[in-house]
Structure 1
């Protein structure tokens, strides 16, 4: 075997070790930042506020007024009967804005923050390279998507168990399922919600490659999120609504039907995959061609 072949054979494990170390370092850096911890703290507080508000309303005898078919805030009407519904209500309350805003902040700062701090050039040295760096950044943002969603779900489950009874629950379709089945569905819903944020994560990462200012990238990502949310609420634009990444976000409620309705869930996951592919490719193309001197 020639020296070239030996070097080529040794380069693969070296690159793998480097990539693993880069990912581990990126995850540690992301979750140690005070900004990340503050975002997770705010997300954990949302279920507490909802649970306390419902408990107060129950004490006043006015909680029974919230009716509905089970989507979004309508889950709130079931919280007093079963604390597990606080998980669904908290996820429905945070998904339209709080969760994607937190993801937008982390994703927007992923590359632009390194550029602004002057460390991006050093991260791009071999054997890491731009592609591996971008994939590592995106993986860290996806890890935050999952962590943020689980923080909301676990906080809601703890508060629901503390303030309200737990047990068998009634689905949107009116059938009864056991508590264990309800926990499984709550976990599936949390995973679907986390997957629903992958499109925003890719969009934020793309914006992050366009500027050297982390603050500008974060603000732009959150601004785009708000704009798309507004567009999704304008009836005259109904023709484009199915192509907007937030349109099917609340389809997770279909997991609480018996049988489960999969159509909108598939559309949601497919749409998030499309956004991730398009904006992920755009981020790679821009970063690959970018002249980084600082």
Structure 2
């Protein structure tokens, strides 16, 4: 379905033809599929995913070269030291490296451009001809943003798993708590870690979507979202701001490491997911309030 055809999802006056059932669910799915197609067909999105997939390869090669060299001792941070013994840990190492910088920057670009980019190209006014469809359109854009989070995290995790298997031995995994689990149990745990990392970016998607409704420039919205991520992470590094740090959306991002313990420490993970849900509720509502009253002639 083209962008122009998406307008036909809901009548312009909010009514529906007699004898037809409401098309809320089907209309949303149509918009969602269209947003997925729009997001993942862009060369920029494919390049971002390729960069994310290349990151674990670079990390794996660097670790391999250093540990094989005359001075390689397998030392370093816990994830990196574990990687030299088991390639599975390259998944966790790559996610730990990508989450603070690379993943949020790519998500910020996609989320920030979601509304502002279409406003800049002039296609948004055609989608907003039907006021009854604005909420569904915004929900479709947010859901497509979450889908990109999953795709971006999967690109890192799958590339890391393949690279780790190629460069390092695979076998029983020694967790951060010192317990050992088999490879069959480690794979579902790695999947759970990747899912938590992807959901950790949900708050950023909502923030980027809100910023995107404030401007008609896609570049400005992307830049503002990325700068906001960097600023918040800088603030989160100051111990003098302990009173507000637990409320920053980046604060619990690395809590996924608690999933690599036996038993699993759920406290930080649940706080992270609850915090992301709060940001989604607040900034999602703000985005809806702004978007639902936006002047379609702009």
Query: Smaller-chain TM-score range?
Result: over 0.9
Structure-1 residue corresponding to 2:8: none
Structure-1 residue corresponding to 2:58: 49
Q: How far does the alpha carbon of each residue in 1:76-119 deviate from its partner, in whole angstroms, 9 at most, with x for none? A: 11111100000000000000010011000000000000111111
- SS of alignment partner, residue 219 of structure 2: helix
- SS of alignment partner, residue 167 of structure 1: coil
Rounded to whole Å, the distance in 1 between the matches of 2:187 and 2:291 is: 42
Instruction: Return the match for 1:37 from 46, 49, 67.
Output: 46
- SS of alignment partner, residue 161 of structure 1: helix
Structure-1 residue corresponding to 2:226: 222
Relative to the length of structure 2, the TM-score reads: 0.92
Structure-2 residue corresponding to 1:58: 67
Structure 2 gaps, min length 5:
1-14
Q: How far does the alpha carbon of each residue in 1:242-271 deviate from its partner, in whole angstroms, 9 at most, with x for none? A: 000111100000000000001001100000
Equivalences for 1:133-282 in 2 at 5 Å?
A: 133-282=137-286
Structure-1 residue corresponding to 2:12: none
Q: How far does the alpha carbon of each residue in 1:122-143 deviate from its partner, in whole angstroms, 9 at most, with x for none? A: 1123386110110010011000
Equivalences for 1:1-12 in 2 at 5 Å?
A: 7=17, 10-12=20-22
Relative to the length of structure 1, the TM-score reads: 0.93
Contact 2:88–2:170, Cα closer than 8 Å, also in 1: yes
Equivalences for 1:115-130 in 2 at 5 Å?
A: 115-126=119-130, 129-130=133-134
More helix by percentage: 1
Q: Report the count of equivalent residues.
A: 284
Structure-2 residue corresponding to 1:71: none
Instruction: Return the match for 1:97 from 101, 108, 122.
Output: 101
Rounded to whole Å, the distance in 1 between the matches of 2:217 and 2:16 is: 42
Contact 2:128–2:296, Cα closer than 8 Å, also in 1: no
Structure-2 residue corresponding to 1:286: 290
Deviation of residue 64 (structure 1)?
2.7
Q: CA RMSD in A?
A: 1.6
Structure 1 gaps, min length 5:
69-73
Deviation of residue 63 (structure 1)?
3.9
Rounded to whole Å, the distance in 1 between the matches of 2:16 and 2:145 is: 36
Contact 1:63–1:77, Cα closer than 8 Å, also in 2: no
Rounded to whole Å, the distance in 2 between the matches of 1:191 and 1:63 is: 33
Deviation of residue 18 (structure 1)?
2.9
